[in-house]
Amino acid sequence: MRWLRVLVVILAGLLAFLQYRLWMGQGGSRSVADLQQQVQAQTHDNGGLRQRNAALAAEVEDLKSGEAAVEERARSELGMIKPGETFYRVVEPENPSTAQAAPADAAPTP
């Protein structure tokens, strides 16, 4: 009977060890849940990158096919104008409160 108790204790220890590895060990349910969460986050990031790639591909196609997009970029990014056009530059004052001139006859206060 003594060997039966030893066998039960050994089997119980083995079961406890295997359960620990199943729940806490490498490749266990906790690490699987973490990996599933990482996969979902990466899938979300990939979706955003796919949209960005599609927008860039459409922009490249537009630049290859038409002159309107090239003209628009030249005007906005490079400040280019067409021959015969007049360029007007509007400069706003840096600080609106100092832009109003003080009266000429007012003496500065010390």
* CA dist 44 → 41, 57, 101 (Å): 5, 20, 57
29 inside domain? no
Residue 106 has pLDDT above 80, yes or no: no
99 inside domain? no
69 inside domain? yes
Residue 49 has pLDDT above 90, yes or no: yes
42 inside domain? yes
93 inside domain? no
9 inside domain? no
pLDDT digits (tens, 9 = 90+) for 57-97: 988 887 788 787 778 878 888 878 888 888 787 888 887 66
Look up the pTM and report it.
0.42
Domain that includes residue 51, residue range: 35-80
68 inside domain? yes
70 inside domain? yes
Q: What is the pLDDT of residue 11?
A: 93
| Total domain count, the chain | 1
- Average pLDDT of the chain is 82
Q: What is the pLDDT of residue 12?
A: 93
